[in-house]
Structure 1
Amino acid sequence: MTTPKIAIIGAGPLGLGFAKAIAAEPNAQKIFKAIDVYERRPQAGGLWNHTGDKSNVSFELTESKNNKNALKVIDNDPHLSPMYKHTETNIIKQMMRYKDYPLPENSNTFPIRTEVLNYLLDYQKEIPNFVNFKFNTKVSSLLKNNDNNKWELTTNQNTEPNLYDKVILAHGHFDTPFVPKAKGLLNWFKNDPTSVSHAKYYNDCSKYKDQKVLIVGNSASGIDISTQLITVSKQIVMSCVGKPMFEGVIENQTEQIDGIAKYDFENNRSVITNSGKVISNIDKILFCTGYLYEIPFLKSYTTGANPIITDGSNIHDLYKQLFYIPDTSLILAGLPKSIIPFPFAEAQGQYVARILSGRLSLPSTEEMLKDYQKEVAERGDGSGFHVMGNLKDAEYCNEMFDLIKGTENEGFVAKFWDDQMMDLRVKTGEMKRQRFFELIDYAHDLKSKGLPYSNLKQNFKF
């Protein structure tokens, strides 16, 4: 039996979960020639490594060649984290965790970013030391050599590529901002580039003092940032194209408008909505519209008849949202959205670990393609393909248990989503909704005192 060499790109929640599961395979040290984890930042934690002051970050907004619905965003900081100064999670600490490894008892119910980062740094120490972490190492090229059937991985630390049999992409999908294309937006940006931004570049509310702010998007970041801006802004206008993630929370605190059809900088810095409403005298525009999928270092399978990625709305040709069917030596971790990331990483990791060690085998290419086509028919071949709201992630995680049947006695086994865990997930949403009401009252209190937003300690009871 050959001893495969494994590369994991990314040491955030996904990469750590996969590394732990793979290292827990029976006789892992003998089975795997190497398990190398590449992380561009100086330590584990991925995007939870807040990069601090973002005032020196600049970005360009230009036409996109690949996506007719979006503008292309390029910034000057390859390590920039989308975390902002006063981030707290939308997930309670009882679920924002790995199996058998709870957050400290005194953590906030909805942990703040420093608590999550420290948790991840501690968890990394639990991973066996034969897993080799390579920090401050940015992958610049990943190319499949068909002559020797190896992946050639090049970084900023080596001129000659390292060779791997299997590669797991766990670099996340919060690097490339999605900015929806609309008439006049590029002109606005060219006239006043500092007035247009994205949630990725938001750090705190200081630059929005006494400003009329247009927030585009009403999901988690839009509601969260709007709450923080209450403390300093003159007015908040929120453009929404669907129901907010936490309905009935932010609507009374902002002027709600529908989707934007046109940005008109010359006409009193105004926007015109799809329904014809005009909003004028806008000082700042902040897009809270999410992110596109991008694999900038991947040099194989990106062109041809069936490219793995096209416009960034989703990743194509995947079995179980994990294995790239034309070449299953390429594995993509944690692509789905609206998930609980820690148990999700473990559920995927337990299956992948068994495939890599040879204890389980993948179905035939024909069977995998049939499964993928069925999933596309159900979810669509667009941005909705990876969305797993309404407990779809729990169903997916439990499906991973079906796939590892007969192997549970050895190796890592994730936590099964039983009725109690699913009930807790449902309650989490309502708890966060109530938390937002508390935060809004807190923000108004800070504003009355002339104080900017800061974290508020919380400890919810069940």
Structure 2
Amino acid sequence: MAIQSSPPAPPARPYKSVAVIGAGPSGLSAVKALNDEKAFDVIRVFERRDRVGGTWIYDPEPTPFPSPSVDPAPASNTPPETLPAFTSPLPEDATRRTGLYSYLDSNVGIEAMEFTYASHPKINSALSIRRFGFDNPTRPWQVVAGYLEDIFAKYVHQVTFDTTVERVSKDVVTGRWDVVLRRSGVSWKGEQRDHWWTETFDAVVVATGHYNIPNIPAIPGLQSWYDLWPERLEHSKQFRSREEYSGKSVVVVGGSVSASDFVMDLHRSVKAPLIISQRGLNANPALENVWKIPHVVQKPTIARVTTENGGTVEFSDGTKAVGVDKIIFATGYRLSYPFLVPNPVTDKNRLAGFYRHVFNIEDPSLTVIGQVRAALSLRNYEYQAVAVARVLAGRGNLPSQAEQKDWEEKLLAVRGPTHQFHTIAPDFKEYFDGLRAIAGPPAEGSEGYELPPYDDDWTLKGFRVLELKDQYAQRLLAKNDGSGLADEGRLLAKL
């Protein structure tokens, strides 16, 4: 009598429950990719705001400028000794407010910024049409926000809103992640309270973005200026309307996209000249003509600021601007993951120990989506998320730990140890196709899909906005009659 053997048991899934932190574009990418795999019992998303959208949420009231003597990156709040618990409400963390202003348009070509599976509506703002023509590749922020909400609708039941992740740590005994959570605005015994509790997960996906903490350079005299005129110091995250600068003497610090937007917005309405202070006078070659448009003067880095003569800014070339009403720092952001234990952010503003800026090399059950620069944003997050979901589902092709460490060491030698380490441009093909190789093909029975190979046309479409901005700057230069610069001699003088 033949013995009938049982079919082999399917391989055990390494991770059955996943926490996603953040409900912005990278969080959306994560929750969709995880759901598509059909491999997880629990997928939870925790969002500290009351809606989805992340950096595409509009806050009329911006984040206040931070005191130069205080670290602007908030530490995680200390949980009560015993959980769950109710406590008095903690004050709002103002760094969660976004940097959108009411007429902001996307600065990446929309065909490359969107996900591969869904297109943005073809809607342009009146301002972008005046500058760049009909059917240009920008979109108003409202269109992008609506696009994200429409896609997120399928997964919003998995999101817990008004909930801050305060601590994420690995339990060495259970091998699972303890996530300490705090939900604000909970009514308890007739009062508004904060509710604290802990949940445990097999894996954690951090999708909080990196546009929260303003980066302010250390400049001698800045604290004295702040003590006297805090309202005259701003970071690009605080910009809300060009009307606030009309007729004022303004210095913009920075050499990239945000700085160029402010220059184009303000050059004709501020008291001439509009001064742009940069580390390198041609920091971004694609924007070179923007710094030359009418009523704009380029200066090197700021050596110091003083409160003399109504506000004086001294530059490293020995010149100074007097009577300055506003200094706008378009100087980027600092990385911040204060809830992670241990904190992986170095003192030079780099996320250390993450392969492809995504997978924790020591423990792949901890991943980060969205920690990249110059990367075609949403599409990049999609590729990161699909790779993460398939690795967590036991289907991905993550290389050995030694190979991952070797990748980090080699990239450090090229990019250096600062936030520039996370820059993807110009190596788009290598990066996208590398994630695609990790993800591999979709599994049978899942809702996954084949990630398309990288197409060089994506880069052209993505940076088309910079080309249009350059063409617009050239038209302004062609119309320049030299007027409006009569006050330059008063503002700029040799020390």
TM-score, normalization: structure 1?
0.84
Shift of 1:215: 0.6
Question: Within 5 A, what are the aligned runs for 1:224-303?
Answer: 224-230=261-267, 232-235=269-272, 236-242=274-280, 243-245=282-284, 246-253=287-294, 254-266=296-308, 268-298=310-340, 300-302=341-343
- Seen in structure 2, the aligned counterparts of structure 1 residues 249 and 425 have a Cα distance that, compared at 3 Å, is same
Matched, 1:434 2:471: yes
What CA distance in whole angstroms lies between the structure 1 residues aligned with 2:437 and 2:365?
22
Identify the match of residue 437 of structure 2 among 381, 391, 402: 402
Match in the other structure for 1:121: 149
What CA distance in whole angstroms lies between the structure 1 residues aligned with 2:46 and 2:306?
45
Q: Which amino acid aligns with 2:54?
A: G
Q: Which amino acid aligns with 2:143?
A: E
Question: Within 5 A, what are the aligned runs for 1:152-191?
Answer: 152-157=178-183, 158-191=195-228
- Seen in structure 2, the aligned counterparts of structure 1 residues 134 and 432 have a Cα distance that, compared at 3 Å, is farther
Shift of 1:156: 2.0
Contact kept, 8 Å, 2:214 with 2:237, in 1: the verdict is yes
- Seen in structure 2, the aligned counterparts of structure 1 residues 234 and 345 have a Cα distance that, compared at 3 Å, is same
Matched, 1:62 2:88: no
Identify the match of residue 353 of structure 2 among 300, 310, 317: 317
Matched, 1:77 2:105: no
What CA distance in whole angstroms lies between the structure 2 residues aligned with 1:406 and 1:430?
36
TM-superposition CA deviations, 1:279-337 (whole Å, max 9, x none): 21111111010001011222x112xxxxx112252111111111122222211112111
What residue ranges of structure 2 are gaps of 5+ in the alignment? 1-11, 75-91, 126-136, 184-194, 485-495
Identify the match of residue 106 of structure 2 among 68, 85, 89: 89
Matched, 1:34 2:39: no
Figure out how many residues of one structure are paired with residues of the other and give that number: 423
Indicate the SS of the match to 1:360: coil
Q: Which amino acid aligns with 1:199?
A: S
Contact kept, 8 Å, 2:111 with 2:458, in 1: the verdict is no
Contact kept, 8 Å, 2:291 with 2:297, in 1: the verdict is no
Match in the other structure for 1:374: 410
Question: Within 5 A, what are the aligned runs for 1:193-232?
Answer: 193-230=230-267, 232=269
Shift of 1:345: 0.9
What CA distance in whole angstroms lies between the structure 2 residues aligned with 1:310 and 1:46?
24
Choose 340-349 or 90-99, whichever is displaced more: 90-99
Identify the match of residue 424 of structure 1 among 461, 470, 473: 461
Indicate the SS of the match to 2:379: helix
What CA distance in whole angstroms lies between the structure 2 residues aligned with 1:248 and 1:260?
22
TM-superposition CA deviations, 1:385-413 (whole Å, max 9, x none): 011223x2343112212333455776233
Q: Which amino acid aligns with 1:23?
A: N
TM-superposition CA deviations, 1:147-180 (whole Å, max 9, x none): 2222121222242201111111110001110000
Rg larger in 1 or in 2? Answer: 2
Choose 117-126 or 402-411, whichever is displaced more: 402-411
Shift of 1:439: 9.0
What CA distance in whole angstroms lies between the structure 2 residues aligned with 1:438 and 1:12?
37
Indicate the SS of the match to 1:104: coil
Match in the other structure for 2:173: 147
- Seen in structure 2, the aligned counterparts of structure 1 residues 440 and 82 have a Cα distance that, compared at 3 Å, is farther
What CA distance in whole angstroms lies between the structure 2 residues aligned with 1:386 and 1:286?
25
What CA distance in whole angstroms lies between the structure 1 residues aligned with 2:73 and 2:318?
28
What CA distance in whole angstroms lies between the structure 1 residues aligned with 2:164 and 2:72?
22
Shift of 1:193: 1.2
What CA distance in whole angstroms lies between the structure 1 residues aligned with 2:158 and 2:404?
32
Indicate the SS of the match to 1:24: helix
Indicate the SS of the match to 1:159: strand
Q: Which amino acid aligns with 1:113?
A: W
Indicate the SS of the match to 1:336: coil
Match in the other structure for 2:130: none
TM-superposition CA deviations, 1:329-357 (whole Å, max 9, x none): 21111211111111101111121111010
Shift of 1:87: 0.8
Contact kept, 8 Å, 1:153 with 1:162, in 2: the verdict is yes
Shift of 1:371: 2.0
Q: Which amino acid aligns with 1:275?
A: D
Contact kept, 8 Å, 1:272 with 1:279, in 2: the verdict is yes
What CA distance in whole angstroms lies between the structure 2 residues aligned with 1:439 and 1:44?
39
What CA distance in whole angstroms lies between the structure 2 residues aligned with 1:152 and 1:287?
38
Shift of 1:231: 5.1
What residue ranges of structure 1 are gaps of 5+ in the alignment? 65-70, 303-307, 448-462
What CA distance in whole angstroms lies between the structure 1 residues aligned with 2:73 and 2:478?
35
Q: Which amino acid aligns with 1:9?
A: I
For the aligned residue pairs, the C-alpha RMSD in angstroms reads 2.6
TM-score, normalization: structure 2?
0.79
What CA distance in whole angstroms lies between the structure 1 residues aligned with 2:475 and 2:389?
43
Match in the other structure for 1:336: 372
Indicate the SS of the match to 1:197: strand
Q: Which amino acid aligns with 2:437?
A: D
Contact kept, 8 Å, 1:238 with 1:255, in 2: the verdict is yes
Match in the other structure for 1:460: none
Contact kept, 8 Å, 1:343 with 1:414, in 2: the verdict is no
Contact kept, 8 Å, 2:99 with 2:236, in 1: the verdict is yes
What CA distance in whole angstroms lies between the structure 1 residues aligned with 2:420 and 2:437?
24
What CA distance in whole angstroms lies between the structure 1 residues aligned with 2:199 and 2:478?
54
